[in-house]
Structure 1
Amino acid sequence: MSSTVKLKSPVDGSVYAERPLATDQQINAAVERARRAQADWAQVPIAERGAYLLGFLDALLAMNEEIVPELAWQMGRPVRYGGEKGGVEERTRYMVGLAETALKPFVPPDDRPGFRRYLKREPLGVVFTIAPWNYPYLTAVNSIVPALMAGNAVLLKHAAQTLLVGERFQAAFDRAGLPKGLFENLVMNHGQTERLLASGKVDHCNFTGSVGGGRAIEKAAAGTFTTLGLELGGKDPAYVLPDVKLDHAIANLVDGAFYNTGQCCCGIERVYVHADIYDDFVDGFVAETKNYVVGDPLETATTMGPMAQTRFADLIREQKAEALRKGARAHIGMKVDNDREGSPYIAPEVLTDVDHQMSVMREESFGPIVGIMKVRNDDEAVALMNDSPYGLTASIWTTDTDHAAAIGDRVETGTVFMNRCDYVDPGLVWTGVKDTGKGGAMSVVGYENLTRPKSYHLRDVS
């Protein structure tokens, strides 16, 4: 077994970074430090915790000029998009500001003379965050910030593909002066991760990744009563109605499908368009997609970099080939250097004449390919949107808010969007249904999932 983790860059296939694995002894020592530090941290006033977290944010934002090209080398996102600075700031500031309200004791409304009754939210203890590579800062912030604000300690295991992100978090917390032991970045392999979960030494695990990964997490933690937050696969649909503002829908859905080379948890992977506007929508969607420039993410002209790993790109090629064999029509045909099997560089693709017998319409793609289907009415659209093992987000494109809400009530999903997509609102819970997972991040619900309820029933007998 290798004693190091190597980060292979999708830009040119080189080893961009290599770090030693933590030893089992180092991992156990980190858990013990976290447990000790957390006991003191839980007594720190929420406002004081917030000051540390805002100091962390300032330190992280100050690194952005270094982070942006670093991300391009690690996972292929073009430098022109500037990293994840805006989202990290929005979510951190919102969750810090929400903490006092979310963690305020609840007093039952029925007054009982002679009794003092209330419910408090207590920290869980040690939170283990396992973060993915596709939005490596945003997804980590979702649990790290509220976990610390709620009085927990945090251990971070970041994806090997974005190995340096964990180090950036550690450096920012260190610069902010966060008490030692409260946050620690650990370089671990799958076996070590499973053993830590099986040990019962952590109180909560937050994992973002594949369905298979989520099942492995559940299996490893079985019998420990460790609580879990799992955000797993997705196959997010969009439904475009005849009264839509067409240009707006096309521009936003193309971006929702292909931003970050389609490697978005809530990226658009299938679109259902009402027959009345289908042809105009497809024409506009294809024309907009052809504006993408695929290439070196370090070049400012590039709008789509390579996928993070060659196997991800090869999956997209397989889905496209299968769809074409079954009668689908491809519209882009863009010529891209190195777009071949075994290369992470791949052109965006738009397919029509697709159906749900094709994997591209039911199985997660997580890449730059999207299928567009014509539908006759809401009933057909809803049935197709629900014909998936996943349910993270769904977007509805119309000028009628009440109609959108009514359709949303019928769709099996964690979030319903109208006239937007691919966005996490920190004021609303980020959650999924079916194979997308369980639990929730952001909002007051995110705080509830990172704390436990404790009741106080105090009787005055004086």
Structure 2
Amino acid sequence: MMTTIRLISPVDGSVYAERDALPIAAARDAVARARAAQSAWSARPLEERVATVMAGIDALEAMAPEIVPELAWQMGRPVRYGGEFGGVRERAAYMAGIAADVLADEVIEESAQFTRLLAREPQGVVFVIAPWNYPFLTAVNTVVPALIAGNAVVLKHASQTLLAGERLAQAFYKAGVPEDVFQNVVLDHTTTETLIAERCFDFVNFTGSVGGGRAIERAAAGTFTGTGLELGGKDPGYVRSDADLDAAVDGLMDGAMFNSGQCCCGIERIYVHESLYDAFVDKAVAWVRGQRLGNPLEHDTTMGPMAHARFAAIVRGQIADAVAAGARALIDVAEFPADDGGAYLAPQILVDVTHDMAVMREESFGPVVGIMPVRDDAEAIALMNDCDYGLTASIWTADAQAARHIGGQLQTGTVLMNRCDYLDPALCWTGCKDTGRGAALSSLGYHALTRVKSYHLKKA
């Protein structure tokens, strides 16, 4: 029986797109074609692969006038932000620029007696399961270096952003990437797990929920298939007593509320030194009241709906539970008349929160942030670590040495100083604890997408 995947737009609740999922036989055939095409693609000179992939990025950017409103309809991001193209270009260009050095042979010895070296070869067929919150940025993190390294790529996009995968395919095909080398497929969960369990792929990259990551690991059990898993976050910000208060408020509140809080490395909890706490909270409330919740297709909208009403319901539930346990909500929902009780959700700031509340420990992935005062660095470190996730942590201070010292005690993948909600493509994108495992971007991203082959050649 055919499964139909429906994309429900958060803008008005309508069915914006629907696609039939591939039956298992067709899915196996797609992977087989990818495997058959991969060797010829990897045999092309590296500079040709780089040029072709970057031409695909050019083609994708040329579609911006169509893609930006599509994103608004699919997952609610306001059109005023222009899509994700700045970040897409930055990440793709960086990975293209380091490819020759990172993928080059590492020669250990070249003498009359021996040639000894380490070579990097593509994994083969890479399966990318991309999320809806940044459907292009998160996909290119793996798709671009995987193709450049000589892999074939099979992309399965989230049902909430079905059209993003199709746009990527159009762009790469226009640039000259063979259609079997890059394939966008629509799969249901059962078929996805079956393909992984059948060892159809040589590497699986997944960005999504902890539950989804566990399902991937279960499916891959015993296959020895490599996996890269980014599974969630509850990223903290810490404002030290020497911080630039206005910069901290602006940076952290944008990090908490941008994209309606639906950012992998968005700020979900803030700890402020007690000497700045009252002033920070007052300025944070004023910042939030300056936002406009509404239709993302209107250019004066700064916050659109959450991607789905069920996601908004989770956040509303966390807020209600926190308030029932003693927290205070500082934003009157009536100030945001577009809040409809569904996907359109007013931003919220909570104080008098504790770590007994889910809103301070469990992923919210929505426009809510809890703010707590702290006495010193030690208390801030303990609270930042009191969480099952570890993706990024943001420290606001005038003292870089102190930030480095604090960062060394944090259980996190990335430490940021005086900024947040940012991914530097030159640095490894990774996490710890329930955030998952693996490495994306930087030179280590290429290491994950290739395997090492050792050569020991005795000449005499």
**1:85-234 alignment runs, 5 A limit:** 85-108=85-108, 114-234=113-233
3-state DSSP of counterpart to 1:100: helix
Residue 10 of structure 1 corresponds to 10
Cα deviation, residue 49, structure 1: 0.4
Q: Does the 8 A contact of 2:294 with 2:338 survive in 1? A: no
Residue 443 of structure 1 corresponds to 442
3-state DSSP of counterpart to 1:431: coil
CA distance in 2, matches of 1:414, 1:422: 13
Q: Does the 8 A contact of 2:213 with 2:231 survive in 1? A: yes
AA paired with 2:165?
G
Residue 67 of structure 2 corresponds to 67
3-state DSSP of counterpart to 1:228: strand
Cα deviation, residue 211, structure 1: 0.2
Cα deviation, residue 340, structure 1: 4.8
Please identify runs of 4+ aligned residues in structure 1 that moved more than 4 A: 110-113
Q: Does the 8 A contact of 2:46 with 2:148 survive in 1? A: yes
Q: Does the 8 A contact of 1:272 with 1:373 survive in 2? A: yes
CA distance in 2, matches of 1:315, 1:157: 25
Identity %, equivalent residues: 60
Residue 44 of structure 1 corresponds to 44
Compute the RMSD of aligned alpha carbons: 1.1
3-state DSSP of counterpart to 1:101: helix
Q: Does the 8 A contact of 1:340 with 1:346 survive in 2? A: yes
Q: Which structure 1 segments of 5+ residues have no match?
A: none
3-state DSSP of counterpart to 2:333: coil
CA distance in 1, matches of 2:45, 2:33: 21
Q: Does the 8 A contact of 2:3 with 2:188 survive in 1? A: no
CA distance in 1, matches of 2:102, 2:199: 27
3-state DSSP of counterpart to 1:201: coil
CA distance in 2, matches of 1:180, 1:159: 21
CA distance in 1, matches of 2:234, 2:111: 50
In the TM superposition, what whole-angstrom CA distance separates every residue of 1:41-60 from its partner, at most 9, and x where no partner exists?
Answer: 11111111011011101110
Cα deviation, residue 326, structure 1: 1.1
3-state DSSP of counterpart to 2:106: coil
Normalised to the residue count of structure 2, the TM-score between the two structures is 0.98
Cα deviation, residue 197, structure 1: 0.4
AA paired with 2:205?
N
Q: Once structures 1 and 2 are overlaid, which stretch shifts more, 317-326 or 260-269?
A: 317-326
3-state DSSP of counterpart to 2:350: strand
Q: Does the 8 A contact of 1:290 with 1:334 survive in 2? A: no
CA distance in 2, matches of 1:186, 1:114: 50
Cα deviation, residue 296, structure 1: 0.5
Residue 27 of structure 2 corresponds to 27
Q: Does the 8 A contact of 1:37 with 1:180 survive in 2? A: no
Q: What is the total number of aligned residue pairs between the two structures?
A: 459
CA distance in 2, matches of 1:395, 1:352: 19
Residue 257 of structure 1 corresponds to 256
Normalised to the residue count of structure 1, the TM-score between the two structures is 0.98
Cα deviation, residue 115, structure 1: 1.1
Q: Which structure 2 segments of 5+ residues have no match?
A: none
AA paired with 2:18?
E
CA distance in 2, matches of 1:174, 1:113: 46
Q: Does the 8 A contact of 2:69 with 2:297 survive in 1? A: yes
2:82 is the counterpart of 1:82: yes
Cα deviation, residue 24, structure 1: 1.9
